[in-house]
């Protein structure tokens, strides 16, 4: 007779009368599943989620800690609206030897990472490549880089792979739908293409949504239940976290804010309209301004975060103010407690963040704006990759 084991490899004690795991073991494994599939849960949160007495939860957690399946650590500072009182310690599952792959496709580069089933990054690297120009070349190169990264870490096989793409992904099919943001990718099913190349299950999401997930679990979003993550780079997109969960809309296209039109602006957007947010405020538009004010610079190669002069600060601050006029309306609609600005512009420095803050204060309702913090991404330009590792971990556990 083969001994039955739990998904974590622990053999539960069998009841001598029923031949099934005991009630205490079933409760322990149900609590473990909640901790594993979430992050930063407290004992009180487990009581609320399960409806079980605190003593039962306490006993199950104590067993999991003793077995080494769960770790306990101090809770991060709470965000506004999270309630008062001393936060309880947080619980997280211990990773197994399962290894996953993650890819974050940018417009001019991609990042790859190895992760585990707890959503931790084990190793990563960045490759400069014009991903927009040739999706086939980009997919081939990303798959090859992920295999090389696995070999470097003595990982012979991945369980699954997840990827973030800077464009709208149809939720039900995984189809890239945009003919403007990623024109050469339109009609491609990236998850299917990665499955062909890597031979494992694949999942693909919008990159801004992945960035929001990364910030929720490992970045500035920890301790907040309702926030907006803005990826501000060559394009502009938003990821939304509502009540602690990623919100992607009815068909997966929520957060396509880059094409909200700013009245009176003449800039031509790649979508054919004039005055779209990403045509007015994006890395190319900022660098075009810098090419006039800093003629000695190679603006295509410069890292915006390295420029520390009054003219650059003025350009970035004005860009933040313009972005903030759009975000103020979103804040009135969604009432977040936090705005996280990511991407290359988010990492450019405090002047842009201050500009966003000024416009949110000016244009959002006072009752809304007073509750909002505006910060740069805690993970910097790695937020999308870290979030994609989270997606891969969830796929591995499914």
pLDDT in tens, 114-169: 999 889 999 999 999 988 888 999 999 999 999 999 999 999 899 999 999 988 88
Cα 326 to its chain centre, rounded Å, is 21
pLDDT of residue 171: 85
Q: What is the DSSP letter of 239?
A: E
pLDDT of residue 3: 33
pLDDT in tens, 319-332: 999 999 999 999 99
C-alpha to C-alpha distance for 284 and 275, rounded to whole angstroms: 15
C-alpha to C-alpha distance for 204 and 197, rounded to whole angstroms: 14
pLDDT in tens, 248-273: 988 888 999 999 999 999 999 988 89
Secondary structure (3-state) at 255: coil
pLDDT of residue 167: 84
| Residue in 100, 103, 119, 121 with CA at minimum distance from that of residue 384 | 103
Give the H/E segment covering residue 202. strand 202-206
C-alpha to C-alpha distance for 227 and 59, rounded to whole angstroms: 34
pLDDT in tens, 159-179: 999 999 988 888 888 888 876
Query: What ranges in the chain are assigned the alpha helix state H?
Result: 23-37, 43-50, 54-67, 135-152, 190-198, 207-218, 277-280, 283-293, 310-334, 343-346, 350-363, 366-369, 383-397
Report residue 187's pLDDT band, with 50, 70 and 90 as the boundaries.
confident
C-alpha to C-alpha distance for 83 and 87, rounded to whole angstroms: 9
pLDDT in tens, 6-27: 444 444 555 455 556 788 889 9
Token pair belonging to 235 = 């394009």
| Residue in 220, 206, 196, 183 with CA at minimum distance from that of residue 77 | 220
How many residues in the chain? 398
Report whether 28 contacts 7 (CB < 8 A).
no
| Residue in 230, 105, 232 with CA at minimum distance from that of residue 163 | 105
pLDDT of residue 87: 56
C-alpha to C-alpha distance for 58 and 64, rounded to whole angstroms: 10
Burial class (CB in 10 A: 0-12, 13-18, 19+), 58: middle
Give the DSSP per-residue string, 321-344: HHHHHHHHHHHHHH--SEEEEEHH
- Which is higher by pLDDT, 306 or 184? 306
- For 346, residues 6+ apart whose C-beta sits below 8 A from its C-beta are 230, 231, 232, 340, 352, 353, 376, 377, 380, 381
Report whether 254 contacts 171 (CB < 8 A).
no
Report whether 355 contacts 363 (CB < 8 A).
no
pLDDT of residue 179: 61
Q: How big is the chain by its Cα radius of gyration, in Å?
A: 23
Report whether 142 contacts 110 (CB < 8 A).
yes
Of 64-68, 85-89, 242-246, minimum mean pLDDT range: 85-89
> Mean pLDDT in the chain?
88
**Percent of the residues in the chain that have a pLDDT greater than 70, as a whole number:** 91
pLDDT of residue 344: 95
The yes-or-no verdict on residue 367 having pLDDT over 50 is: yes
Burial class (CB in 10 A: 0-12, 13-18, 19+), 24: middle
**Percent of the residues in the chain that have a pLDDT greater than 90, as a whole number:** 63
pTM over 0.95: no
The yes-or-no verdict on residue 100 having pLDDT over 90 is: yes
Give the H/E segment covering residue 44. helix 43-50
C-alpha to C-alpha distance for 43 and 90, rounded to whole angstroms: 8
């990364």: which residue's tokens? Answer: 214
Token pair belonging to 278 = 């990403």
């Amino acid at each position: 007779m083969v001994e039955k084991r739990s998904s974590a490899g622990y053999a539960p004690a069998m009841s001598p009368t029923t031949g099934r795991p005991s009630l205490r073991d079933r409760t322990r494994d149900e609590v473990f599943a909640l901790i594993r599939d979430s992050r930063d849960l407290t004992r009180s949160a487990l009581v609320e989620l399960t409806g079980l007495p605190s003593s039962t939860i306490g006993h199950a957690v104590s067993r999991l800690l003793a077995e080494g399946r769960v770790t306990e650590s101090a809770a991060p500072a709470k965000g506004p609206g999270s309630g008062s009182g001393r936060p309880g310690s947080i619980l997280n599952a211990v990773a197994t030897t399962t290894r996953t792959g993650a890819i974050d496709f940018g417009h001019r580069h991609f990042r790859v990472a190895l992760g585990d089933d707890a959503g931790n990054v084990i190793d990563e690297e960045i490759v400069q490549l014009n991903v927009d120009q040739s999706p086939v070349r980009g997919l081939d190169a990303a798959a090859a880089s992920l295999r090389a990264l696995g070999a470097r870490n003595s990982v012979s096989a991945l369980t699954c792979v997840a990827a973030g793409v800077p464009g709208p992904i149809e939720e039900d099919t995984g189809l890239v739908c945009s003919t403007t943001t990623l024109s050469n990718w339109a009609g491609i099913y990236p998850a299917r293409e990665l499955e062909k190349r890597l031979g494992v299950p694949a999942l693909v999401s919008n990159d801004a949504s992945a960035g929001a997930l990364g910030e929720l679990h490992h970045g500035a979003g920890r301790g907040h239940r309702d926030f907006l993550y803005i990826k501000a780079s060559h394009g502009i997109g938003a990821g939304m976290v509502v009540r602690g969960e990623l919100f992607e809309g009815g068909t997966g296209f929520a957060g396509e804010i880059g094409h909200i039109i700013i009245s009176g602006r003449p800039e031509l957007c790649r979508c054919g309209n004039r005055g779209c947010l990403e045509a007015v405020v994006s890395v190319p538009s900022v660098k075009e301004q810098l090419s006039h004010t800093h003629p000695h610079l190679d603006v295509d190669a410069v890292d915006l975060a390295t420029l520390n002069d009054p003219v650059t600060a003025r350009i970035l601050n004005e860009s933040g103010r313009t972005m903030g006029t759009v975000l103020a309306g979103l804040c009135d609609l969604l009432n977040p407690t936090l705005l996280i600005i990511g991407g290359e512009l988010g990492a450019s420095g405090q002047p842009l963040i201050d500009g966003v803050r000024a416009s949110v204060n000016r244009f959002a309702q006072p009752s809304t704006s007073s509750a909002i913090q505006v910060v740069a991404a805690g993970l910097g330009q790695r937020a999308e990759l870290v979030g994609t590792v989270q997606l891969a971990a969830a796929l591995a556990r499914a």
